Amino acid sequence: MSVVDGKAPQAAGVPERSGARTIVDTVFRARELSIVAALAVLIGVTAAANSNFLSGQGVTDILLNTSILALLAVGQSVVVITRNIDLSVGSVVGLVAFVTGDFLASGGSMPLGILIGVAIGAACGVVNGLLVSFLRVPALVVTLGTLYVVQGLDHYIAHGRQINAVDLPPAMLALGNEGVLGVPYLPLIAVVIMLAVGYYLRSYPSGREFYAIGSSPEAARLAGVPVRRRILAAYLLSGALAGLGGVLWLARFGTVIADSAQGWELTVVSAVVVGGVAITGGVGSVYGAVLGALLLTTIGSALVVLRVNPFWQQAVTGALLLLAISVDRVLALRVARLLRKRNVRHGS
């Protein structure tokens, strides 16, 4: 009888603990679904107010406008997962767009120009990664500093000049404005990169180590994870994708000045956090980050169609960012309480 009585509380307690943790896990995993639902409501309401919103050209514009932001969000999400941040991506996009455009306008070959752009972005990422991972300078300080350094370098190279679309090879402009089977090239490139990075993070041990670092850098180090190399790799990826984003920016718009994509770093961070990547690291996916980018872009397009003051786009973005951070904080505290209860029940 005593044995039965002894097991009863345990049997009652385990489902309670498991049920609570299941709820938390479900909420984390449902972030992407909530963004999809928000997108559906937003598109439905806007289309009801203006049928042109879902026209072929309207959908194409949304996809094109989302592509570069989504590409940057993929790289940024890997950095944020490791409990860091990269504020230099917007400046890197501007620098690469101008340098690549200048190279192509001078008669350079398009493949070499693309490689140069990606290499410049990767070099900027390596600088950030070395300072953050090996010299242990706070990521916010490092990337804020490189943001201004890259901006200054961009203005020095530009000297007030402007790259015009007529000076670029037709193939470059076709990359940014044409497609295959009615689907533009830019979103196809963004989707391929998103799937590749997402598969790597989920399916490879080295990919899952990024999450381990974000959850607890010290525990990951004690477990044998090469923390510094992984953080360096995250910044390298972010920089390389920012470089590719600069090339695609040039292809998309054709006309480029020195401060292209200025201020985009905050939009990228907003897309990542709204997409469910916890700013404290260790939680999230590149799929959610891309959905966050799509949501922010769609909000901007919807406000334009509805003829709403552009100020409200920034206000809505800020509100979504605050909401996402608040939700992440509440869930993190909930998980911490559940873990403490588990440890107390197991006597540890």
Cα–Cα distances in Å, from 275 out to 70, 84, 190, 266, 324? 11, 16, 16, 14, 8
| CA 332 to chain CA mean position, Å | 21
Each residue of 94-115: pLDDT tens digit? 999 999 999 999 999 999 999 9
Q: Any idea of the CA torsion for 86, 87, 89, 94, to the nearest 10 degrees?
A: -160
Q: Would you tell me how many other CB atoms lie within 10 Å of the CB of residue 222?
A: 9
Higher pLDDT, 306 or 211: 211
Q: Tokens for 295? A: 């949501």
Q: Is the pLDDT of residue 203 over 70?
A: yes
> Which long-range contacts does 336-340 make (Cβ < 8 Å, 24+ apart)?
338/17, 338/20, 338/21, 338/24
pLDDT for position 236: 98
By percentage, how much of the chain surpasses pLDDT 90? Answer: 56
Mean pLDDT for all residues in the chain: 85
Question: Which residue segments constitute the domains of the chain, with CATH numbers given?
Answer: 54-332 (1.10.3470)
Which of 220, 190, 194 has its CA nearest to residue 282?
220
The answer to whether the CB of 93 falls within 8 A of the CB of 107 is no
Average pLDDT estimate for 312-318: 76
Nearest-Å Rg of the Cα atoms of the chain is: 23
Helix-helix angle 227-253:89-105, to 10 degrees = 50
**What's the CA angle centered on 143, arms 142 and 144, to 5 degrees?**
95
Each residue of 177-201: pLDDT tens digit? 888 888 899 999 999 999 999 999 9
Using pLDDT thresholds of 50, 70 and 90, give the confidence band for residue 88. very high
Q: Is the pLDDT of residue 2 over 50?
A: no
Using pLDDT thresholds of 50, 70 and 90, give the confidence band for residue 219. very high
Strand partners, 183: 180
Phi then psi dihedrals of residue 161, to 5 deg: -80, 170
Q: Is the pLDDT of residue 28 over 60?
A: no
Q: Any idea of the CA torsion for 177, 179, 183, 184, to the nearest 10 degrees?
A: -30
Q: Tokens for 73? A: 């969000």
| Residues sharing a CB contact under 8 Å with residue 83, sequence separation 6 or more, in sequence order | 213, 214, 217, 280, 281, 282
Using pLDDT thresholds of 50, 70 and 90, give the confidence band for residue 338. low
| CA 260 to chain CA mean position, Å | 19
Q: Would you tell me how many other CB atoms lie within 10 Å of the CB of residue 326?
A: 10
The answer to whether the CB of 136 falls within 8 A of the CB of 108 is no
The answer to whether the CB of 112 falls within 8 A of the CB of 171 is no
pLDDT for position 51: 81
Q: Tokens for 41? A: 């409501």
